[in-house]
Structure 1
Amino acid sequence: MLVKNYKLILLSCLFANSVWAAGIEYRVDVEAAEPIRKLLSENLDIVRWRDSGMVDREQLDRLHAAAPREIAELLATQGYFSPKIEAKLRPEGNGWQAIYQVEPGPLTEIGDVTLRLNGPIRDEPDYRPRLAEVIEVWPLPTGAIFTQQGWDNAKRRGLQALLIDRFPAARIANSRAQVDPAVQQAELEVEYDSGPRFTLGELRISGLSRYPAAIVERAARFRPGDPYTQQALLDLQRELRNLPYFSSVLVEAEIDPARPDRVPVRVDVTEAPRQAVSFGIGYGSDKGERGSLDYRHHNLFKRGWLGSVLIDVEKREQTAGAGIQWPPVGQEFRYSLNYKYTHSDVAELEESENRLTLQRARERNGITVEQSLTYVTDRSRFQEEDWLKRRALVLSQSWTRKRLDDEVDPRRGSVLSWQLSGALKGLLTDTNFMRAYSRAQLYFGVGERGRAIVRGEIGQVLADKTSDVPSDWLFRAGGAGSVRGYDYQRLGIEDGRGGVLPGRVMSTVSLEYQHPVVERWRAAVFVDRGGAADRWETFKAQTGVGVGVRWISPVGPLAFDVAQGRGSRNEAGERRTQWRWHFSLGATF
């Protein structure tokens, strides 16, 4: 048996050598403009078989004879229908040389386009607007260059305009592209068949075992009998993916032209664990060392309520809190109830705060709207002085819009936000006050890879008595996300004892340029200016200038900055300068 195997291997080797020996060497030269030469050199059969070692003379003749037809077909895909092709095959040393001289001729333009829309859609009240929509999205107008790829894309583009709204079974019933090489023009004709009108039906949910089906049902923004739209399905899928209950979600409708009414919507989910615990450690130049514990329960009382407990300990600030969030209902607001205790010791001012907040929030199309009612009690003191106590019941409204090309490391886009808050004396509040705050952060691409970041914020508090306003509703500035070159929240009202009190007005502005250096590293230069004060008449902006490096990590930019705080001049005209370094992780919005 072993001898037979050796014989079989030997015969196979002899056969392979005989085939290899039968092959001949040849070279292919395409003489044409560079884009055409590249297209032909990468797609002709005679080129693909050149290095196989298995082409004999007879096969080479067949490949050479077929090449002009292949060249014409390839050029036609690019809009050239009148090429001049000269082919030669001649001996060269021990092999052969195949030469193809190609003049593609003039490009073919689109002379006329006819689009027709038939089927049950003609009975719809918006038939003419839908036909106008197909015409509007059609990307090949009269005078455009005709190519096969452009023709295929245009047909799909027109079809997509039907598929996404009420007619998911639409199809291309007929299409024709008639090219006249004599005048280099193409006449295009497409007929779409809409198919039946579809409506959405009941949800068919699979994959649930831990969480109630009501979570999925409440997230749907449509009801059985509503017109089919792809957007409705995408909205439901996005809404469910944003919830912590599921690790994966797939939403599909069963499209059967024979049964278009109330088509079932299949929702396949993979559940996330019922409970999650996370730990974190870190360091920041503003607040020092940091450790955190975050516990979340995703199904309190088996009703899909979200429970959370957070402990966050930093050198200058410590936080503990707990909360409950109720599942959302479609596009309606999400409600939550949260308690948080905070203790801080910043700029010689020690503060303790208790905050209980009832909030509702809604996110739609990148815009987040929030309303909240917060009861806050706080106390503060300098060093060992007596505690100053305050309380307030604050009603707030906020709005934030994000338009970013990348959530982790944006290069273009903007983040805009504003907040308006107020409290009335006597309603669990020590003094009347109103607080307004607004912030903008803009990103601009500079050159091929550089970027500029412009940031600005402004705020003001109107109050009968500033000392009775909880300090967290007033303003201070300074630090990594504010005016660099100064310690965290060190810009405010100096009390003459080394401490800094928060003020009623605040404004900061920053301009930063980042330039790529190597791979994930960027260099940065920046200038910041701003501060806080009791009123605008006494407001004095401070300036910080500096340089830094950015390392783009998977969770966002890691920033290290060295900045000089260029303080105000004294009576002798001398400027008080200071140097600070700042460290932060992630984009700050």
Structure 2
Amino acid sequence: MSVRYVQGLLAIFLMLLSLPALSQTSWQPPNAKLAIEIDGIEGALLTNARIFLSLTALEGEKVPSIFRVRYLSRTGEQEIRSALEPFGFYNASVTSEINEGEDIWTVRYVVDVGPVTTYNNVNVRLIGNAQNDTAFQKLIESQQPYSGQVFNHQAYERFKASLRNLAAERGYYDATFTEHSVKVETSQQLADVSLVFDSGERYLFGETTFCCAFLGDSLLNRFIQYETGEPFNTRALLDLQVDLAGSDYFNRVEVSPQWQNTSDHHVPIDVALTPNERDRYQVGLGYGTDTGARITLGFDRRWVNDRGHRLSSVIRLSEVQNTGFVSYIIPGNNPARDSYSFNGEITDRSFEEQRSTLYRTSFKDLRHYDRWHRTYQLAYQREDFAFGDEPTESSNFLIPSVEWSLIESSNLPANRNIIDDGYRLSIMLQGGYDGALSDTTFASVKVGAKWIHRLNESWRVLVRSEIGALRADNFEALGPTLRFFAGGDHNVRGYAYQQLGPENADGVVVGGKYMTASSVEVDYSFKPNWRVALFTDIGNSMMQWDEGLKQSVGFGFRWVSPIGPVRLDLAMALDEPSKPWRLHLTLGPDL
């Protein structure tokens, strides 16, 4: 071995020994962590780029070897270019660099998206029976791409998916794309699209059969809101399933179109039903500042016979009022929305020197029209009542009444128990005629409204108002349940339940001919499921409209429990400064 050869090996060996001192970071993993920066894009482009980028799996972690970082950073350039193509950017340029700091290594990408690709020739054709379907015409008009529009591959795929979904929803079981092609000319930034959708023939509803039902066909068939031979629509089947499940007759409902058994483009519908427990017992304990401690006992027979008649009964006992109620319910022509009921009620109430025992029987006709509810009622009642030391009197009335209500609301996506925006309107008219089983002629009206609006992510405003008025030939003949009172948890806080109203000579509130109560409240969400509120209420019960109103102010806390908001309010009556703050505790929905 020559001396020169030995000298060469020695030089190489000495050079290798010196490498760690020259470049520690090139051979050994540092203690720094990895960070990624992407400049030149934002929004959906940036989000998609990070999804495509393999290097994001290492972000925030300890830097691996420099060789791996360099390889992944170079690979990332192509990954980002691929991530931009679905948005129409086929000529983007991406460069990368690695900044090696002591604590952080940053891989920085600079993106120039370049010119965007637009649609050039667009050919969208619909063939088959759907050509005359207005639902498809509206879909194509709203979503079809057009020449000059930015080519977005995701939007194009959504358009195709919308056509397929609408076909499935409306019974075009054999629908298919006979042509679907996209040609992109990257040098000219133009995209040609050819899309042909053959819907085929629309299927029709066949016969609907119910399996394992314990109720008669006469009732079950009234739940069906479509006719055999009508064009198929999955919306109608979903409505059928929801209505059957909501009837409380069944524990489980499965509605299935039998596509494998179609005949002459008619698809039969099978409905599998699992019965609920026939009897339901309920026991509940609670407390409300209007009622005090209370207990509720309930018994329901979900069906009495194969016609679906139901029996519902409840006993509510509290410090203020005891009530027994029983109702026999008959399904109407549309069992999911209409019903008739025969009702009996006994209520005994003793509060603030007001004493009343009410016996009432009634017949109700209830209808639901989408958001509207309508109730006709004919009731006969006897009420034995007394105020303070006055002798007990009795009143008898046959009372026809009608009530309309409208509720429109949307809930927060994160919590269905919080109203995002909504309102409630209601009006009730009732009366009696002297000589027609009534002690005097009277008529009354009560109108209520509530509005809720979310100002931003944390703040809401809640406004409510109600007003009532009655005319009577002999006001003294009316029992307390037919008069107007004010005050309490749901009326004018800061005052006790039915504390506000005209008084007799003994200072006992006896109720009035008119009533008004309004409230303005703002609440703030300071943590999930917890809110704080500020409010002011104003109202009164009066014999004349020009009598003064009572006002209160207060604050409260709300806990959004799984069964609805629980409200704890402290309110002070401004017109009675000598009285302390009053506590109000309520549970129930916002509307």
Q: TM (normalized to structure 1)?
A: 0.84
Could you say what secondary structure the match of 1:437 adopts?
Answer: strand
Q: Against the structure 1 CA distance between its residues 561 and 107, is the aligned structure 2 distance closer, same or farther, given a 3 Å change threshold?
A: same
Could you say what secondary structure the match of 2:492 adopts?
Answer: coil
Give 1:173 shift: 3.5
> Does structure 1 residue 491 correspond to structure 2 residue 496?
no
CA–CA separation in structure 1 for the residues paired with 2:262 and 2:240:
25
Q: For residue 478 of structure 1, what is the amino acid of its counterpart? A: G
* Residue 579 (structure 1) aligns with: 581
CA–CA separation in structure 2 for the residues paired with 1:235 and 1:195:
26
Q: For residue 468 of structure 2, what is the amino acid of its counterpart? A: G
Q: Against the structure 1 CA distance between its residues 486 and 37, is the aligned structure 2 distance closer, same or farther, given a 3 Å change threshold?
A: closer
Moved more, 256-265 or 295-304: 256-265
Q: Matched residues, percent identical?
A: 26
User: Is this contact kept in 2: 1:137–1:157, CA < 8 A?
Assistant: no
Of 274, 277, 282, the match for 1:278: 282
Q: Against the structure 1 CA distance between its residues 66 and 423, is the aligned structure 2 distance closer, same or farther, given a 3 Å change threshold?
A: same
Could you say what secondary structure the match of 1:240 adopts?
Answer: helix
* Residue 521 (structure 1) aligns with: 530
Moved more, 356-365 or 131-140: 131-140
* Residue 7 (structure 1) aligns with: none
User: Is this contact kept in 1: 2:249–2:276, CA < 8 A?
Assistant: yes
1:67-466 to 2 correspondences below 5 Å: 69-86=78-95, 101-110=110-119, 113-122=122-131, 127=132, 129-138=134-143, 144-208=149-213, 210-255=214-259, 259=263, 261-330=265-334, 333-406=338-411, 408-466=417-475
Of 548, 551, 563, the match for 1:555: 563
CA–CA separation in structure 2 for the residues paired with 1:567 and 1:33:
64
Deviation track 1:90-125 (CA, whole Å, cap 9, x = no partner) reads 9999xx998865322233344564432211334xxx
Q: Against the structure 1 CA distance between its residues 547 and 37, is the aligned structure 2 distance closer, same or farther, given a 3 Å change threshold?
A: closer
Q: Against the structure 1 CA distance between its residues 318 and 69, is the aligned structure 2 distance closer, same or farther, given a 3 Å change threshold?
A: same
Deviation track 1:526-569 (CA, whole Å, cap 9, x = no partner) reads 000111112324x321101111111111111111111111227x
Q: Against the structure 1 CA distance between its residues 297 and 257, is the aligned structure 2 distance closer, same or farther, given a 3 Å change threshold?
A: closer
CA–CA separation in structure 2 for the residues paired with 1:88 and 1:135:
46
Q: For residue 33 of structure 1, what is the amino acid of its counterpart? A: G
User: Is this contact kept in 2: 1:169–1:255, CA < 8 A?
Assistant: no
Could you say what secondary structure the match of 1:494 adopts?
Answer: coil
CA–CA separation in structure 1 for the residues paired with 2:307 and 2:134:
45
Q: For residue 568 of structure 2, what is the amino acid of its counterpart? A: F
CA–CA separation in structure 2 for the residues paired with 1:536 and 1:88:
80
User: Is this contact kept in 2: 1:559–1:583, CA < 8 A?
Assistant: yes
CA–CA separation in structure 1 for the residues paired with 2:359 and 2:171:
52
> Does structure 1 residue 564 correspond to structure 2 residue 551?
no
Could you say what secondary structure the match of 2:487 adopts?
Answer: coil
CA–CA separation in structure 2 for the residues paired with 1:41 and 1:305:
60
Give 1:408 shift: 2.9
Give 1:149 shift: 2.0
Could you say what secondary structure the match of 2:159 adopts?
Answer: helix
Could you say what secondary structure the match of 2:294 adopts?
Answer: strand
* Residue 544 (structure 1) aligns with: 552
Structure 2: where are the runs of 5+ without partners?
1-26
Structure 1: where are the runs of 5+ without partners?
1-22, 569-574
* Residue 5 (structure 1) aligns with: none
Deviation track 1:501-547 (CA, whole Å, cap 9, x = no partner) reads 1222111110001112233221111000111112324x321101111
Moved more, 433-442 or 82-91: 82-91
CA–CA separation in structure 2 for the residues paired with 1:446 and 1:98:
41
* Residue 12 (structure 1) aligns with: none
CA–CA separation in structure 2 for the residues paired with 1:218 and 1:28:
64
Q: Against the structure 1 CA distance between its residues 260 and 455, is the aligned structure 2 distance closer, same or farther, given a 3 Å change threshold?
A: farther
Aligned residues: 552
Q: Against the structure 1 CA distance between its residues 547 and 139, is the aligned structure 2 distance closer, same or farther, given a 3 Å change threshold?
A: farther
Deviation track 1:335-382 (CA, whole Å, cap 9, x = no partner) reads 111111111113321011111121121224232222111111112112
User: Is this contact kept in 2: 1:25–1:53, CA < 8 A?
Assistant: yes
Moved more, 188-197 or 83-92: 83-92
User: Is this contact kept in 1: 2:119–2:151, CA < 8 A?
Assistant: yes
User: Is this contact kept in 2: 1:195–1:257, CA < 8 A?
Assistant: no
Deviation track 1:448-493 (CA, whole Å, cap 9, x = no partner) reads 2111100011111122222233432321110010001110011111
Q: Against the structure 1 CA distance between its residues 60 and 202, is the aligned structure 2 distance closer, same or farther, given a 3 Å change threshold?
A: same
1:45-56 to 2 correspondences below 5 Å: 45=54
Deviation track 1:138-196 (CA, whole Å, cap 9, x = no partner) reads 27566654322222222223444444335354344333334343454444443222221
Give 1:212 shift: 4.3
User: Is this contact kept in 2: 1:84–1:104, CA < 8 A?
Assistant: yes
Could you say what secondary structure the match of 1:476 adopts?
Answer: coil
* Residue 8 (structure 1) aligns with: none
CA–CA separation in structure 1 for the residues paired with 2:275 and 2:54:
51
Q: For residue 463 of structure 1, what is the amino acid of its counterpart? A: A
Q: Against the structure 1 CA distance between its residues 100 and 364, is the aligned structure 2 distance closer, same or farther, given a 3 Å change threshold?
A: same
